[in-house]
Structure 1
């Protein structure tokens, strides 16, 4: 018992000294609870929507009011052409496009079926399913209301449906889950390996005592950072290549955009992930701390980036928190190029965000890293 008591006292003292590890052990479960409790929501509402109303009558406004009142559609933009609808959905600014034809009100007044086209970005199956279900249900309710009014006015009734909601799922019309998941898994694999490997790079040098060899070299801090980043960048490209080949050969993943552009823009994400790992390595004192901090970054990256759960369904705070994660922007780039076939003119905002992240992470890492033995 005395030996056990001594061992317990020693472990508690060690835990108290290792304040960073203790803090991670206490904070990490709390972060998990908050993320799963508040951020994760599969009931997707408030989808950004663009409307091209060619009717501009009271009937079309009533329909749009019904759609927005359901809380599933937030009308963010008003289009003046079909091209504006295409551009908004291609760029990811909106998830839904609603097109009301010019004869919409006339068809309703004369007892003919009034059609409405609803374009849905189906790269995100959960968001698309919510939009489709809500639009079809609202169309059915509006039709039932009109039919009931007609039945109250005279005997007999028409079987013609007043409203017809024509759904057009784009980019993944068959809702193949692999088309949505494979690009996301590629980003997750890169995040997991790049951040975890590099986060332990400098820490491992310090623990092994080889940091002195780096100190006596005439290299500058930024040169040392690049020396740690470039070799792992090659590993990242190998992972991307293998993932793409598996996606094409096994899951029939379509590559609708430029493969060269995809590889070129992947470099920004690889460097951003490596810079994130380097930043962790300058803070952590042991490899265990570096691994714990890597998981602390890895879990929010999976849950808040849009990899598994739509970001539109998250509360505002967690949605904004996801905007500081490199994986969030890389997933948008990957899915836009692979599934939508867009070019650089569409994804440049995401690329710019990655560049800004790289600059901030590397500057902080270089300033924190001191070429001396801790």
Structure 2
């Protein structure tokens, strides 16, 4: 009861400090909501649509017009310009007016119907990997459809049925099953990762001020007096308000942001929220660890930013960890966010149970234990130094 009363006094004081300090209040409460809504609105269309594309049609035949119409009817492509030379294509790319271009050669229909091999040239802006990959995918699908259509007519003209003709053209069918994000939706891919990373960054930037700000404002003596010099009371009394406030962010993300923007959650909400709470506690305690190591709050903030900045890249979200060099893989696995994200994807998208994420949970709990132990040691050292 004695320890609990000391924790309670310090926690009440910390709540007041958060409310009184506008910068901290905005960082913890206001800014995350604004950023979550902003990120969700960016990807609300889910997939990239109507990429501007130019066309050069040297053939001007029925088949070339059909090919152009097929490209234009694709939801991902919008034909914006009709050009006459390849030099114009380069000029339009440089101006940023187009992201791709289609060039249909002379005698396209004639060569196709006579059985000669011909080609359609597609230029794509591969400086943007997403744009380049999407145009390649759409172009490959459309050109394959045109080729199959031409062959189908030829074979059917010899007396074969459509089914027989298709068996000759495509003796092997590709049967694909896209799991977990079948529509390749950016809202289901980017929003969960970006929102949770922002959550971590906001928590840690605020948490690194928990102890260091007391030295900056010369109020550490007040904390010692309220806690009677108990490092346990200081640590948990200062951390609990931040854990509670940021836990509300977890409910906001899962209960409002995800449904508002149509992010699909396949797994158990209870397990997902439990994972969020654990992750939030880890982030707060890791922030306190940094805060207890550096008395200068600006230095503590810089360390937090330095740790968090590459966190998203090394999490394996944009590029898989197994594809990185060994040293980068090791560094990525030393980040709490990497293991949270791995567990989050398994629970929310793959609908797995706790057994499937046990390794990630063990790592997160290990981060938590180390952070608490080192923080208690450092706070005890600070208290003794202050009292002496």
Matched, 1:373 2:383: no
- Is 1:305–1:328's contact at 8 Å kept on the other side of the alignment? yes
Cα distance in 2 for residues equivalent to 1:299 and 1:355: 22
Cα distance in 2 for residues equivalent to 1:265 and 1:161: 47
- Is 2:224–2:230's contact at 8 Å kept on the other side of the alignment? no
Cα distance in 2 for residues equivalent to 1:307 and 1:191: 15
Of 217, 225, 233, 1:208 maps to 217
- Is 1:262–1:334's contact at 8 Å kept on the other side of the alignment? yes
Deviates more, 1:243-252 or 1:264-273: 243-252
Of 308, 311, 315, 1:301 maps to 311
- Is 1:301–1:325's contact at 8 Å kept on the other side of the alignment? yes
Normalised to the residue count of structure 1, the TM-score between the two structures is: 0.55
Moved over 6 A (4+): none
Deviation at 1:246, TM superposition (A): 4.1
Deviates more, 1:243-252 or 1:179-188: 243-252
- Is 2:290–2:300's contact at 8 Å kept on the other side of the alignment? yes
- Is 1:269–1:354's contact at 8 Å kept on the other side of the alignment? yes
In structure 2, what is the equivalent of residue 117 of structure 1? Answer: none
In structure 1, what is the equivalent of residue 206 of structure 2? Answer: 197
In structure 2, what is the equivalent of residue 249 of structure 1? Answer: 259
- Equivalenced residue count is 227
Deviation at 1:160, TM superposition (A): 4.3
CA RMSD of aligned residues (A): 2.9
In structure 1, what is the equivalent of residue 248 of structure 2? Answer: 238
SS at match of 1:167: coil
Cα distance in 2 for residues equivalent to 1:365 and 1:266: 22
Cα distance in 2 for residues equivalent to 1:353 and 1:251: 31
Matched, 1:187 2:196: yes
- Is 2:207–2:291's contact at 8 Å kept on the other side of the alignment? yes
Deviation at 1:164, TM superposition (A): 4.2
SS at match of 2:177: strand
- Is 1:200–1:281's contact at 8 Å kept on the other side of the alignment? yes
In structure 2, what is the equivalent of residue 24 of structure 1? Answer: none
Of 303, 315, 321, 1:311 maps to 321
Deviation at 1:220, TM superposition (A): 2.1
Cα distance in 2 for residues equivalent to 1:165 and 1:306: 29
Cα distance in 2 for residues equivalent to 1:312 and 1:159: 40
Larger-gyration structure (1/2): 2
Cα distance in 2 for residues equivalent to 1:170 and 1:367: 47
SS at match of 2:223: helix
Cα distance in 1 for residues equivalent to 2:328 and 2:238: 32
SS at match of 1:361: helix
Matched, 1:287 2:300: no
Question: Structure 1: 5+ residue runs without aligned partners?
Answer: 1-124, 141-157
- Equivalence map 1:1-374=2 (5 Å): 159-161=168-170, 163-216=172-225, 217-369=227-379, 370=381, 371=383, 372-373=385-386
- Is 1:194–1:236's contact at 8 Å kept on the other side of the alignment? yes
- Is 2:279–2:340's contact at 8 Å kept on the other side of the alignment? yes
Deviation at 1:344, TM superposition (A): 1.2
Deviation at 1:247, TM superposition (A): 3.5
Cα distance in 1 for residues equivalent to 2:294 and 2:174: 56
SS at match of 1:273: helix
Deviation at 1:343, TM superposition (A): 1.5
- Is 1:186–1:240's contact at 8 Å kept on the other side of the alignment? no
1:239/1:203 Cα in 2 relative to 1: closer, same or farther (>3 Å)?
same
SS at match of 2:359: helix
Question: Structure 2: 5+ residue runs without aligned partners?
Answer: 1-128, 145-166
SS at match of 1:172: coil
SS at match of 1:168: coil
